[in-house]
Amino acid sequence: KLLDSKTRLEEREDIQSFFRSRKQLSAFIGTYAPDIGPANVIAFEFPFGGDFTADLVVGNKETNTFCVVEFEDARPSSIFRTTRRRSTTEWSPRFEHGFSQLVDWCCTLDDFKKTDRFARDFGHGHVRFIALLILGRNAGVSAEDRNRLRWRTEKVRIDSHTVECLTFDDLYEHLNR
């Protein structure tokens, strides 16, 4: 209903409030992480090392698997934008900002993995993270740009962690399979 009601979604007012009030749906986002099992950790605005905050963390301490989520807005230019100089669109500042946050989170998590705080929050031993950047809508994203987005998801890793980049429409389709 939310996707049908608006073509543009604001991060705080629409998206974060929507998922915060639907914890089971938020937990289901964790199924992007293989072998996560039932989520026993769901946290909104989870702090990483003081300077960074994940919009959502879904995880399972028994399987040491966590899905960290960054929501961005859903506007026509959230992922790509056109320029006058090129026929190929370029990655939008909003996309690059969200992706850079994932890089900072992974860097911070790597730095803190030998601390008591890390063990308390995520467990002991090897902890697996899947990062999700969810933004934009499918409308207006060309077939060529969809291929670029898919390629980035399949090929680009951060410190060996999988990074999924998807639209809110993609998320909706995943949750309804």
pLDDT tens by residue, 22-69 = 999 999 999 999 889 899 999 999 998 778 999 999 999 999 999 999
Q: pLDDT value at position 49?
A: 75
d(CA 98, CA 167): 13
Q: What is the reported pLDDT for 86? A: 86
Tell me the pLDDT tens digit for each residue of 83-141.
888 889 999 999 999 999 999 999 999 999 989 999 999 988 899 999 999 999 999 79
Give the separation between CA 119 and CA 117, rounded to whole angstroms: 5
Could you tell me if 32 and 65 are in contact, meaning their C-beta atoms sit under 8 angstroms apart? Answer: no
Asked if 164 and 144 count as a contact pair (C-beta separation under 8 A), the reply is: no
Phi-psi region of 64 (alpha: psi -120 to 50; beta: other; left: phi over 0): left
**Residue 103 to residue 58: CA distance in whole angstroms:** 18
Q: What is the pTM of this model?
A: 0.94
